[in-house]
Amino acid sequence: MLTARERHVEELAASLRARLIERRRGEAAAGRSVSAPLPEEVRDLVEGEAALLGAEDRSAVEARIVRDTIGLGPLEELLADPTVEEVMVNGPGSVYVERGGRIEPAGVGFPDEEDLRNAIERILAPLGRRIDELSPMVDARLADGSRVNVVIPPLAIDGPALSIRRFGVSRPGPEELVALGTLTAGQVGLLERAVSGRRSVLISGGTGSGKTTLLNALSSFVAPEERVVTIEDAAELRLQQPHVVRLESRPASVEGRGEVTVRDLLRNALRMRPDRIVIGEVRGPEALDLLTALNTGHDGAISTVHANSPGDALARLETLALMAGLGLPHGAIAEQVQRGIDLVVHIERRGDGVRRVTEIAEVVRVAGATAVRAFELDDGG
């Protein structure tokens, strides 16, 4: 809840910002170039129109005007908060954040849809991406690795929808995940032996369950002398090995050209002499190429897939492989899954926001069909 002073600063900043915009539009319409830099112009405006305010309040008004003009508006304070894991904007007046695995109202908003669209443009412009009625959806990556997704009207009915999933420079390792309650000591020991022993591991779970974070932690068990090739839609992984080649897919341009898919990258990665392939997420026909690689000497891969359980993860992998459209019988693909995938690690986000590995299962063949068998660990993992 804003105090009377904070509300006054906010209203004054909004009023002066509107006046500043009108002044600049008038100068542009008259063909005159703006002579002073924006911060200096804002300072002069505040000094002239709010001279009675104290120095601290004048500085607050200036900072807010600059923030809302060339920054990301109310999102600035959210993105400056290290506890915020994701920012979700569902229209100008509806902003939520995720902290500690829990979603809650952010307590901020945009004055109108135009301000929200301007903030979106300021996010996408440095990335060389644009969004308009012809391309109303954008999925992109910021310089710090955070992932941005935008959908605008008419697809987003209540106004532009923006989500920013943040990824810090440092990622929790296995020991930190044990401290957080995501893994048990027994699970860490089992997964360390599996990854270092070049067994292929598939991590399953829902959106926001921590699959990428877990994958990043498990990659620490890869030997430092191995050549690792990572393939992602948006580069989020931060591997610690010295010999890592990072590949990222590319969407088609506005003209519909230049697309490079995860499947394209995976096929090329097999020609790059990888010791280990790490795929951020399998979500399409590249599943067939992954299975082919795992059955032709490229063992030890690590990847993630959206699924509700280890058994569902294998079924989904088979379905995705069938999407390649090569006419292979389901039995042949199921056999490749059984031979190519060794372990499935399932992670869930609980109601209290804690991410927890709930099951580690070994892929086995039972009565001619592919199945999973959960490991029984002494510490309850």
C-alpha 185/C-alpha 306 separation (Å) is 25
Contact yes or no for 314/278 (Cβ under 8 A): no
Q: Is the pLDDT of residue 98 over 80?
A: yes
Angle between helix axes 262-269 and 286-294 (nearest 10 degrees) is 20
Give the pLDDT confidence score for residue 190 in this predicted structure.
95
How confident is the model over 269-283, as pLDDT tens digits? Answer: 999 999 999 999 999
Mean pLDDT of all residues in the chain?
86
Q: Which residue has the tokens 């500043």?
A: 20
Q: Is the pLDDT of residue 231 over 60?
A: yes
Task: Record the pTM.
Answer: 0.75
More confident residue, 146 or 349: 349
How confident is the model over 154-189, as pLDDT tens digits? Answer: 999 999 999 998 876 557 899 999 999 999 999 999
User: Which band of pLDDT confidence, cut at 50, 70 and 90, is reported for residue 54?
Assistant: confident
More confident residue, 253 or 207: 207
Q: Is the pLDDT of residue 381 over 60?
A: no
Q: What average pLDDT does this structure show over 217-225?
A: 95
Give the pLDDT confidence score for residue 254 in this predicted structure.
67
Strand order in the sheet with 84-90: 102-105, 95-99, 84-90, 161-165, 147-151, 137-141
Q: Is the pLDDT of residue 66 over 80?
A: no
More confident residue, 222 or 72: 222
Domains of the chain, each with CATH number or no CATH:
1-70 (no CATH), 72-168 (3.30.450.370), 174-374 (3.40.50.300)
Both structure tokens of 120: 């979106």
Give the pLDDT confidence score for residue 267 in this predicted structure.
93
Both structure tokens of 218: 């498990």
Q: What average pLDDT does this structure show over 297-321?
A: 94
C-alpha 22/C-alpha 26 separation (Å) is 6
